[in-house]
C-alpha cells in the first residue's frame, strides 16, 4: 500500500484509510464522500465550525457509529480499536466520587489483557509522559484543571496506543496550560511517532502543531498537509472570513479582511 508524505520527509505508512464515507443519524446525513488517508506519525487537526461533523467522524473512527456507505480501514498494528486512545473534552465522572490518579488512569486499561506488573508499568509510563510521575496516590479532584486534563491524557496513553484521538482536549484550560499540554503531545508525536488526531476550533493552534489538517464544511471534508490546506481561500470558505494568509518559518500568519473570527 502506497504511503503518504510524512512531516519528517519520509513516506508514512497509512494507519487509517477512509474511503467514500457517508455518516449520519436517523434521516440526517452529516458527512458525505469523505476520503482521508492518515499516515503513521502524522499530527492531524480536524477544523470547522460547530455541527459540521468533526465529532461524528471521531465516533466512526472509534467504531461507535456505523458508516452508511464507504469504509474505514484501520491497520491493526497501529489503529485497531484496542490500539486507539481517546481523550474526551470532559471526563464525565462524578466529582463527589473519591478517585485517585491511579484509579482514574487504570480505567484506560479496560478490556486489555495484562498482568499486575504490566498494569503498573503502563500506568507509571503514562503518568511520566504527561509530567505527573509520582502522583499516583493523589486525589484526582484535588488537582488543577490542567493537571486533571493531563491525567485524562494519561488514561488514554496507558493503552499504549498507535493512534491518539482528542476531542477539544484543551477546552476550558488557560493559555499556559493549553500550550504546555499540546507541547507535550507534540513531543510524543515527534519522538515516539505517535499518530495524533485532534478536534479543535483554533486555527493558530492547528497551524502551530499540525502536520495535516482536515477542514469540515457543508457536509464535506477537505484534508491534506497543513501548508496546502490552510490558505486564505479555504479559510474564507469554512469560516466566512477573508485572510491574507502566508507561512513563515513553519508558522501561519494572516491579516483579516472580512467578518468573523477564524480562531
Any idea what DSSP says for residue 153?
H
Coil, strand, or helix at residue 46? strand
Q: For residue range 204-238, what is the model confidence (pLDDT) as tens digits?
A: 899 899 999 999 999 999 999 999 999 888 988 89
Half-sphere exposure of 2 (CA within 13 A, CB side): 2
Write the pLDDT tens digit of every residue in 120-158. Answer: 999 999 999 999 999 999 999 999 999 999 999 999 999
> How far is CA 261 from its chain centroid?
22
Buried b (16+ CB within 10 A) or exposed e, 231-251: ebebbbebbebbbebeeeeee
Predicted TM-score (pTM) of this structure:
0.86
- Output the nine-digit C-alpha cell for 186: 507534540
Give dist(CA 145, CA 112) in Å, integer: 28
Check: CB of residue 166 under 8 Å from CB of residue 197. yes
The answer, yes or no, to whether residue 11 has pLDDT greater than 80, is no
Q: What is the dihedral of CA 258, 46, 38, 249, to 10 degrees?
A: 50
pLDDT tens digit sequence for 161-219? 999 999 999 988 899 999 999 999 999 999 999 999 999 988 889 989 999 999 999 99
Provide the percentage of residues in the chain whose pLDDT is more than 70: 84
| Helix/strand/coil for 65 | coil
Chain-wide mean pLDDT for the chain? 86
Is the separation of the CB atoms in 48 and 222 below 8 Å? no
Enumerate domains of the chain plus CATH numbers.
4-230 (3.40.50.300)
Higher-confidence residue of 198 and 116: namely: 198
Amino acid at each position: 500500500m502506497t504511503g503518504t508524505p510524512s512531516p519528517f520527509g519520509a513516506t508514512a505508512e497509512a494507519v487509517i484509510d477512509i474511503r467514500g464515507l457517508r455518516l449520519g443519524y436517523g434521516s440526517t446525513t452529516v458527512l458525505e464522500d469523505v476520503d482521508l488517508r492518515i499516515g503513521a506519525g502524522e499530527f492531524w487537526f480536524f477544523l470547522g465550525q460547530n455541527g459540521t461533523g468533526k465529532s461524528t467522524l471521531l465516533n466512526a473512527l472509534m467504531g461507535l457509529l456505523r458508516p452508511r456507505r464507504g469504509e474505514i480501514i484501520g491497520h491493526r498494528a497501529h489503529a485497531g480499536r484496542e490500539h486507539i486512545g481517546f481523550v474526551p473534552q470532559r471526563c464525565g465522572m462524578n466529582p463527589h466520587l473519591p478517585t485517585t490518579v491511579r484509579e482514574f488512569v487504570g480505567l484506560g486499561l479496560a478490556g486489555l489483557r495484562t498482568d499486575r506488573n504490566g498494569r503498573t508499568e503502563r500506568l507509571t509510563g503514562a503518568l511520566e509522559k504527561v509530567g505527573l510521575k509520582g502522583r499516583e496516590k493523589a486525589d484526582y479532584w484535588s488537582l488543577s484543571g490542567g493537571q486533571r486534563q493531563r491525567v485524562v491524557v494519561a488514561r488514554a496513553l496507558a493503552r499504549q496506543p498507535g493512534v491518539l484521538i482528542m476531542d477539544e482536549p484543551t477546552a476550558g484550560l488557560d493559555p499556559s496550560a493549553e500550550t504546555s499540554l499540546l507541547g507535550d503531545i507534540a513531543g510524543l508525536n515527534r519522538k515516539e511517532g505517535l499518530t495524533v488526531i485532534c478536534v479543535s476550533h483554533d486555527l493558530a493552534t492547528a497551524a502551530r502543531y499540525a502536520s495535516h489538517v482536515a477542514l469540515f464544511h457543508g457536509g464535506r471534508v477537505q484534508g491534506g498537509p497543513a501548508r496546502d490546506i490552510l490558505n486564505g481561500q479555504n479559510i474564507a470558505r469554512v469560516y466566512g472570513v477573508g485572510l491574507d494568509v502566508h507561512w513563515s518559518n513553519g508558522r501561519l500568519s494572516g491579516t483579516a479582511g472580512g467578518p468573523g473570527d477564524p480562531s
